[in-house]
Amino acid sequence: MTGVKILDKRKGMVKAVIIYAIAMIMSVASFHITLLEMFNLIVVCVPFAAASMISSDKEAGIAFIVSLIVLMLSTDRSYAIGTCIMYIMPSLIIGRITVLGKDRKSNEPVYIGMIIYMLSIITYALISKYMMNTDVVKVFIDTINKSVESRTQSMTPEQLEMLGNVDKRDIVTLMRNMVAVFLFIHAMICSMITYYIGVALAKRTDEVSIQRGLFSEFFLPGNPILFTAMMFLALYAMKYMELNIMADVALANLQVIFNVLFSVQGISVGVYYIINIIRKKSRSLFLPSIILIIMISFGGSVLMSIVGLLDCVMDFRKLRKVDKKSI
């Protein structure tokens, strides 16, 4: 190895260490500053992901261990374990996965990241319940219950009359049944922000060349329509079988999750055409772009999910011909 390569490697390592250090400082600061904790996803996940993209597996592992020690010494145990499991570890893994596929333009790290973030939250919930005697789900439901109760007490008689026969217990039950949806949406948002902003930050260091997947090229991997149909049929069948499974709740959660996914893909289609018309200034794309903007403005998530569903079938952007590899 030449002296220039050694110097470049050391330079990249120094940049990674600096970003890791900043991320650790922000992790500790988030514990002491409540407002900053609301932006943990930006101030913690993004820098850790970016740093892991310009470092090695070994350095990422060391950063995780050091972060855990620093947080345990400077914050409380619950916050330290929660931050490391739910934010730091997933962001480091997404960063390393991104580097492994850096020569291929793909959104696969986003899909994998969704799974990782969901698993990390479930892991923390189990650790919190059985090792720290704190039921995270119960705390969440109690918070919702108190919020609903406080809100109903502050309502005027006219507002209460508008609710009709809706009881606060029905609202709490609905929120409890939709925990899986909240978990999925949280994981999806975390994965997208960690990947897209993390890659942009890593590329600014000039230490790594990554073929970043674009949001305008986001599409669901595999055959989502067939998978959705099979899941709905399976759950619908379970509803009429003598199984101890809450099929109605599962169906409702599944419907919301796939509506969200198809809506995201529909918005991605709109962004794709808008970017193309700006770059190419092609009049042929003007009409579909205007139509999509109107659909987003007035149709909301319903029409966007329809666009996403149609894109899965018709492949408007011809992306599956370019990259057929999926998870």
Q: Domain check: are 192 and 226 in the same one?
A: no
Q: Domain check: are 155 and 288 in the same one?
A: no
Domain boundary among 152, 182, 210: 210
Q: Is the dihedral of CA 218, 222, 223, 226 positive or negative?
A: negative
Q: Domain check: are 192 and 290 in the same one?
A: no
- For residue 325, the model assigns a pLDDT of 45
- For residue 301, the model assigns a pLDDT of 67
Q: Domain check: are 26 and 10 in the same one?
A: yes
Rounded to whole angstroms, the Cα distance separating 237 from 157 reads 44
Q: Domain check: are 206 and 222 in the same one?
A: no
Cβ atoms 89, 64 nearer than 8 A: yes
Per-residue pLDDT of the chain (327 residues; tens, 9 = 90+): 455 555 556 766 788 888 899 989 999 998 888 777 778 878 888 999 999 988 888 888 999 999 999 999 998 888 899 899 999 999 999 999 888 865 555 678 888 888 899 889 888 888 888 887 877 777 777 777 777 677 766 766 666 666 666 666 666 677 777 777 888 888 888 998 999 888 888 888 766 677 777 777 777 776 666 666 666 666 566 555 544 456 567 777 777 888 888 888 888 887 887 777 777 665 555 555 566 566 666 556 677 788 888 887 787 777 765 554 443
Domain boundary among 210, 228, 257: 210
Q: Domain check: are 138 and 88 in the same one?
A: yes
Rounded to whole angstroms, the Cα distance separating 145 from 172 reads 6
Q: Domain check: are 137 and 245 in the same one?
A: no
Domain boundary among 166, 188, 210: 210
Residue 196 belongs to what domain range?
Answer: 1-210
Give the type of residue at 217: E
3-state helix, strand, coil in the chain (%, to 5): 80, 0, 20
Domains of the chain: total: 2
Q: Domain check: are 202 and 225 in the same one?
A: no
Q: Domain check: are 144 and 52 in the same one?
A: yes
Q: Domain check: are 167 and 286 in the same one?
A: no
Q: Domain check: are 3 and 53 in the same one?
A: yes
Q: Domain check: are 197 and 248 in the same one?
A: no
